[in-house]
Amino acid sequence: MKTNRQPGFATRAIHSGQEPDPLTGAVTVPIYPTSTYVQQGIGEHKGYEYSRVSNPTRTRLEQNLAALEDGIAARVFASGMAAINAIASMLQSGDHVVCGNDLYGGTPRLFNQVLAGFGLEFSYVDTSDAENVERAIRKNTRLVYIETPTNPLMRLSDIAAISRICRRRKVELVVDNTFMSPYFQQPIALGADMVVHSTTKFLNGHSDGLGGVVVCTKPAQAEKLAFLQKAAGAILSPFECWLVLRGVKTLAARMEIHDRSGRIVADFLASHKKVKQVFYPGLASHPQHALAKRQMSGFGSMITFETGSLKNANRMLKKVRVCSLGESLGGVETLISHPATMTHAALGEKGRKAIGITDGLVRISVGIEDVEDILADLDGALNEI
């Protein structure tokens, strides 16, 4: 049967860039652990010269991730932070960036403590109101940089509304799509110019490797980022590329379970007597639930909740057994963390207070274990409070 239908998401995750190896027919993309490539003569080669510049395993991963985010190309880096640093390295001294005020703590740490020293300027605004973005744009603004939902407060920004402002003001919009993955949110379809991920999280999905990606919509972006891979060298190794290629094959299946269990855990927490507040866009009580339904095709498994104090948070976190206390998110295992002392420690007490990150907040990345076991574990731990 002939059809013009585009392959669906799960099919692209398994097959885009992951075609059988032409040499052997291997269904799995080979790992090419090589630093260099034999050349046939001066300037004569098979497309690969040196692995900082390009590597066949990396090429396949970049093709795959571009297909999943519907971009024209993707460039992978050694970590999510290396990918974000590459985006900032496309700017010049004197350029200005408007950022969300509730980003992953490592991002403002890079911006304020490293890049501001090289003459880049950053303003932080509450991007959940698109008008704040418009007001913050200056003559020298080159980028608007947002995360939606935010980490850890699960505030949403309206990607389509912000992208309209960016287009009108001739500023590029970058969206960190780590929390939702391309399975539940497609920023490029909503008008974003570039999408960034920590592949360390849902794209890899197995908590066994760090990585980052920038997905581009314009050839100039892809060229500049390829140049930065070559010039600065913060590339992803062939083995780590392979881990993401392996992990991403099950992204659709994993995200379905993450989402189903995420909703169950959020409902459970919302009705638990020891929990004071739950931040999850899938709850009807979330102030931006309507936007969540419009902009995302699922709600995912990132949930933050208020235990009331550092003491309460510590009491419960010491008791969890199925949930693993640790930084990071997006793995098959349920990971639970304490934003004030972990992901957002770099903001300092004042910085955290300004955006509403309290010492009692706990963040959970619901994994794909049996959800009854996750609920029993959380119930036992919460009842220690």
Ligand X SMILES: Cc1ncc(COP(=O)(O)O)c(C=O)c1O
Question: Known catalytic residue: 104?
Answer: yes
Strands 212-216 and 194-198: antiparallel
Does 201 qualify as catalytic in the annotation? yes
Query: Which window, 65-73, 173-181, 265-273, 358-366, contacts ligand X (CB under 6 A)?
Result: 173-181
Rounded least distance, CB 233 to ligand X, Å: 16
- Residue 106 interacts with ligand X (CB under 6 A): yes or no: yes
Write down the catalytic residue from 201, 249, 254, 274: 201
Q: By CB under 6 A, is residue 81 in contact with ligand X?
A: yes
Q: Which residue is nearest to ligand X (CB)?
A: 80
* 69 belongs to the binding site for ligand X (CB under 6 A): no
Per CB under 6 A, contacts with ligand X among 137-156 are 147, 151
Select 84 or 130, whichever has its Cβ closest to ligand X.
84
Work out whether 200 is an interface residue with ligand X (CB under 6 A).
yes
Running DSSP on this structure, what letter comes out for residue 286? Answer: S
Q: Which of 158, 176, 193, 259 is catalytic?
A: 176
222-228 long-range Cβ contacts below 8 angstroms, 24+ apart: 222/72, 222/73, 222/75, 224/90, 225/75, 225/86, 225/87, 225/90, 226/54, 226/75, 228/75, 228/86, 228/89, 228/90
Rounded CA separation 30/18 (Å): 10
Name which of 71 and 152 has its Cβ closer to ligand X.
152
Query: Binding to ligand X by residue 130, rule CB under 6 A?
Result: no
Phi and psi based region of residue 249 (left: phi greater than 0; alpha: psi -120 to 50; beta: remaining): alpha
- Active-site hit among 48, 104, 124, 145: 104
Interface with ligand X, residue 326, by CB under 6 A: no
Considering only 17, 56, 71, 80, the residue that binds ligand X (CB under 6 A) is 80
At 154 the three-state DSSP class reads coil
* Subset of residues 247 to 306 that bind ligand X, contact rule: CB under 6 A: none
- Rounded to whole angstroms, how far apart are CA atoms 258 and 264? 10
**Is residue 229 within 8 Å of residue 52, measured between CB atoms?**
yes
**Alpha carbon distance 165, 91 (integer Å):** 20
- Selected from 51, 55, 79, 261, the binder of ligand X by CB under 6 A is 79
Q: d(Cα 323, Cα 268) in Å, to the nearest integer?
A: 15
User: Taking the C-alpha atoms of 93, 99, 102 and 105 in order, what is their torsion angle to the nearest 10 degrees?
Assistant: -20
Would you tell me which residues interact with ligand X (CB under 6 A)? 79-81, 104, 106, 147, 151, 176, 178-179, 198, 200, 210, 212
Residue positions annotated with a catalytic role: 52, 104, 176, 201
